[in-house]
Every structure is written in C-alpha cells, then in structure tokens.
C-alpha cells in the first residue's frame, strides 16, 4: 500500500528552472544590447523567452517526469515550480531593462544573473555537502562563456547582417 507524503519544499524544483532562465536571459541581454532599438529588442525577446521558451521547457520537464514514473501530483508540482521560477527570473531581467538605460541595464543584468546563479550554486553545494567555492566558480565560468559568446555573436550579426 502506498503512503502519501505531504509535498515538501524542494529547492531543486525551483533552482533548475531559475538557472536555465538566468543563462537564457543573460544571452539575450548581452547578445542584443548593440542592436538598433536595443531596449525594445531586448524586452520583446525577454518576454518571448519568459513565455514561449518557458512553456516549452516546462512541458519538456513534464513529459520527462512522466516517463520516470513519478507520481502525477509531483509531475505537476515540478512543471509549475519550473514555470514560475523561470517566469520570476525573467521578469527580474525585464524590469532591469525597462527601468535603466541599455548600457547600464546590461551591466546590472550581468551582476543580477551572476549573483543569483552564485547564490543558487552555493545553496546546492551546501545541501549536497560539496565545496561551494568550486561549484560557484564552475557555474560562473559557464555563464561567463555564454555572456562572451552571446555578446560577440550579437555584434557580429548586427554588423554583418544589418542589410537584411
């Protein structure tokens, strides 16, 4: 006989979606900051990511969890926590870009993203008994690579494909 356990707060259910949103939003902000009408382009892209990519990612997690024979209630909890964590992080980036001049918004977004990612990395490492400094360093390096690639890719696209 299966015993029902009450749903417990699970940090990992929220952090998974939030970290994905941080990396994706950092790529958008740094990749589009030098585009014509940068503020409009960035905000529009962040809003699309906050909804379309978020729904897509949440559905993917939902389907994956269904294949793992996880209880239906837990599957839905995982789906919604992922969705709302990603949405909340994305709205943070949207507010930054809405309220600040573009160049400052890019800097503040990078700080917001890296600090939040560092905090999540710390919490995960402490929970698993790992070295927090190592975990933070690893995840910040990955985010930094995404930021650099997105920045230069965005600049290259804008300078070479401006005639389209």
Residue 17 lies in a domain: yes
Element of type H or E holding 164: none
Tens-digit pLDDT profile for residues 67-79: 887 888 888 887 8
Residue 124 forms part of a structural domain: yes
Does residue 116 belong to any structural domain of this protein? yes
Angle at 102 between CA 28 and CA 114, to 5 degrees: 55
In a domain, 123, yes or no: yes
The count of domains in the chain is 1
Range of the domain at 151: 12-156
Q: Record the pTM.
A: 0.84
pLDDT at position 162 is: 67
The pLDDT tens digits for 145-156 are 999 999 999 999
162 inside domain: no
Which of 124, 94, 125 has its CA nearest to residue 112? 94
In a domain, 164, yes or no: no
The answer to whether position 161 is within a domain reads: no
Instruction: Read off the pLDDT of residues 92-140 as tens digits, 9 standing for 90 and up.
Output: 999 999 999 999 999 999 999 999 999 999 988 888 899 999 999 999 9
Residue 7 lies in a domain: no
């Amino acid at each position: 006989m299966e015993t029902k356990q009450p749903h417990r707060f699970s940090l990992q259910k929220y952090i998974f979606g939030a970290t994905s949103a941080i990396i994706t939003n950092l790529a958008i902000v740094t990749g589009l900051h030098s585009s014509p009408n940068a503020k409009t382009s960035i905000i529009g892209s962040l809003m699309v990511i906050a909804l379309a990519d978020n729904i897509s990612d949440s559905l993917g997690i939902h389907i994956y969890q269904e294949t793992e024979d996880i209880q239906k209630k837990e599957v839905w909890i995982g789906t919604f926590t992922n969705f709302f964590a990603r949405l909340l992080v994305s709205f943070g980036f949207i507010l930054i870009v809405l309220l600040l001049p573009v160049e400052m918004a890019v800097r503040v977004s990078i700080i917001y993203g890296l600090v939040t990612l560092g905090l999540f990395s710390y919490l995960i490492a402490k929970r698993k008994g790992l070295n927090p400094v190592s975990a933070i360093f690893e995840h910040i390096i990955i985010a930094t690579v995404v930021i650099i690639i997105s920045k230069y890719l965005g600049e290259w696209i804008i300078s070479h494909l401006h005639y389209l």
